[in-house]
Amino acid sequence: MCYNSRRINNFKQIRNVKQISLFIQITGGINMEIDNWISGYKVRAFPWVDGKHIYFNVQYYEAGQSICKPPIWDKTVYITDNEAGRNLVNNFTHSLVECVASMKIADHTKVVITA
Protein backbone atom coordinates (compact mmCIF):
# COMPACT_ATOMS: atom_id res chain seq x y z
CA MET A 1 0.00 0.00 0.00
CA CYS A 2 2.97 2.32 0.08
CA TYR A 3 5.09 3.70 -2.69
CA ASN A 4 8.52 5.12 -1.95
CA SER A 5 7.87 4.53 1.77
CA ARG A 6 5.06 7.04 1.67
CA ARG A 7 1.37 6.37 2.20
CA ILE A 8 -0.88 7.64 -0.57
CA ASN A 9 -3.90 9.16 1.17
CA ASN A 10 -5.52 11.03 -1.66
CA PHE A 11 -5.22 11.73 -5.37
CA LYS A 12 -3.52 15.11 -4.81
CA GLN A 13 -0.43 13.36 -3.39
CA ILE A 14 0.17 11.36 -6.57
CA ARG A 15 3.18 12.50 -8.59
CA ASN A 16 3.79 9.84 -11.28
CA VAL A 17 2.20 7.05 -13.33
CA LYS A 18 3.24 4.24 -10.97
CA GLN A 19 1.56 6.02 -8.09
CA ILE A 20 -1.60 6.56 -10.16
CA SER A 21 -1.96 2.84 -10.91
CA LEU A 22 -1.23 2.01 -7.26
CA PHE A 23 -3.84 4.53 -6.09
CA ILE A 24 -6.44 3.04 -8.44
CA GLN A 25 -5.68 -0.46 -7.14
CA ILE A 26 -5.96 0.67 -3.50
CA THR A 27 -9.09 2.81 -3.81
CA GLY A 28 -10.86 1.06 -6.66
CA GLY A 29 -10.86 4.14 -8.87
CA ILE A 30 -10.09 7.79 -9.27
CA ASN A 31 -11.52 10.12 -6.66
CA MET A 32 -14.65 11.67 -8.15
CA GLU A 33 -14.91 14.43 -5.57
CA ILE A 34 -14.32 18.01 -6.73
CA ASP A 35 -14.62 21.04 -4.46
CA ASN A 36 -12.75 23.80 -6.24
CA TRP A 37 -12.91 27.11 -8.08
CA ILE A 38 -12.88 26.53 -11.84
CA SER A 39 -13.07 29.33 -14.38
CA GLY A 40 -14.47 31.74 -11.78
CA TYR A 41 -17.19 29.34 -10.57
CA LYS A 42 -17.43 27.36 -7.35
CA VAL A 43 -17.73 23.73 -8.42
CA ARG A 44 -18.69 20.65 -6.39
CA ALA A 45 -18.91 17.12 -7.77
CA PHE A 46 -19.22 13.76 -6.06
CA PRO A 47 -20.92 10.38 -6.55
CA TRP A 48 -24.63 10.75 -5.81
CA VAL A 49 -26.27 8.59 -3.15
CA ASP A 50 -28.28 6.55 -5.68
CA GLY A 51 -25.04 5.10 -7.10
CA LYS A 52 -26.21 5.85 -10.66
CA HIS A 53 -25.23 9.50 -11.02
CA ILE A 54 -22.51 12.04 -10.28
CA TYR A 55 -23.78 15.23 -8.64
CA PHE A 56 -22.27 18.26 -10.42
CA ASN A 57 -22.99 21.71 -8.99
CA VAL A 58 -21.81 25.08 -10.36
CA GLN A 59 -22.28 28.30 -8.38
CA TYR A 60 -21.59 31.87 -9.44
CA TYR A 61 -20.61 34.58 -6.95
CA GLU A 62 -20.30 38.28 -7.77
CA ALA A 63 -16.71 39.58 -7.74
CA GLY A 64 -15.82 40.46 -4.15
CA GLN A 65 -18.94 38.80 -2.75
CA SER A 66 -18.58 36.80 0.46
CA ILE A 67 -19.08 33.08 -0.02
CA CYS A 68 -20.99 33.14 3.28
CA LYS A 69 -23.85 34.73 1.33
CA PRO A 70 -25.93 32.78 -1.19
CA PRO A 71 -24.53 32.69 -4.74
CA ILE A 72 -25.99 34.85 -7.52
CA TRP A 73 -27.05 31.62 -9.21
CA ASP A 74 -26.68 27.91 -8.53
CA LYS A 75 -27.05 25.17 -11.17
CA THR A 76 -27.00 21.43 -10.61
CA VAL A 77 -26.87 18.62 -13.13
CA TYR A 78 -26.41 14.89 -12.71
CA ILE A 79 -23.94 12.98 -14.87
CA THR A 80 -24.64 9.30 -15.53
CA ASP A 81 -22.06 7.38 -13.47
CA ASN A 82 -20.40 5.20 -16.08
CA GLU A 83 -16.94 5.20 -17.66
CA ALA A 84 -17.84 7.95 -20.14
CA GLY A 85 -19.45 10.09 -17.42
CA ARG A 86 -16.44 9.76 -15.11
CA ASN A 87 -14.17 10.63 -18.05
CA LEU A 88 -16.28 13.74 -18.71
CA VAL A 89 -16.03 14.90 -15.09
CA ASN A 90 -12.32 14.06 -14.65
CA ASN A 91 -10.86 15.08 -18.00
CA PHE A 92 -13.24 17.71 -19.36
CA THR A 93 -14.15 19.52 -16.14
CA HIS A 94 -13.58 23.05 -17.48
CA SER A 95 -15.71 22.42 -20.58
CA LEU A 96 -18.42 20.82 -18.45
CA VAL A 97 -18.42 23.81 -16.08
CA GLU A 98 -18.76 26.25 -19.00
CA CYS A 99 -21.56 24.14 -20.49
CA VAL A 100 -23.52 23.99 -17.21
CA ALA A 101 -22.94 27.71 -16.60
CA SER A 102 -24.48 28.55 -19.99
CA MET A 103 -27.51 26.25 -19.53
CA LYS A 104 -30.94 27.64 -18.76
CA ILE A 105 -32.35 25.31 -16.13
CA ALA A 106 -35.88 25.86 -14.83
CA ASP A 107 -36.49 25.70 -11.09
CA HIS A 108 -37.21 22.25 -9.68
CA THR A 109 -35.93 20.53 -12.84
CA LYS A 110 -33.58 17.54 -12.72
CA VAL A 111 -31.11 17.54 -15.60
CA VAL A 112 -29.26 14.30 -16.35
CA ILE A 113 -26.35 14.31 -18.80
CA THR A 114 -25.43 10.97 -20.32
CA ALA A 115 -22.03 10.97 -22.03
pLDDT for position 14: 45
Summarised one tens digit per residue, pLDDT across range 49-90 is 999 999 999 999 999 999 899 999 999 999 999 999 999 999
- The mean of the pLDDT values for the chain is 81
Is the pLDDT score of 104 beyond 50? yes
Sign of the Cα torsion 6, 7, 9, 15 reads positive
Claim to verify: residue 50 and residue 94 sit in the same structural domain: yes
Q: Is the same domain home to 26 and 48?
A: no
* Percentage above 90 pLDDT, the chain: 65
pLDDT of residue 2: 33
Containing structural domain, residue 18? 1-30
Could you give the number of structural domains in the chain? 2
Residue 23 burial (CB count, 10 A): 20
What's the DSSP call for residue 12? G
Strands (E), the chain: 2-3, 6-7, 34-38, 41-47, 53-60, 73-80, 112-113
Range of lowest pLDDT (6-15, 78-87, 101-110): 6-15
One domain, residues 26 and 36: no
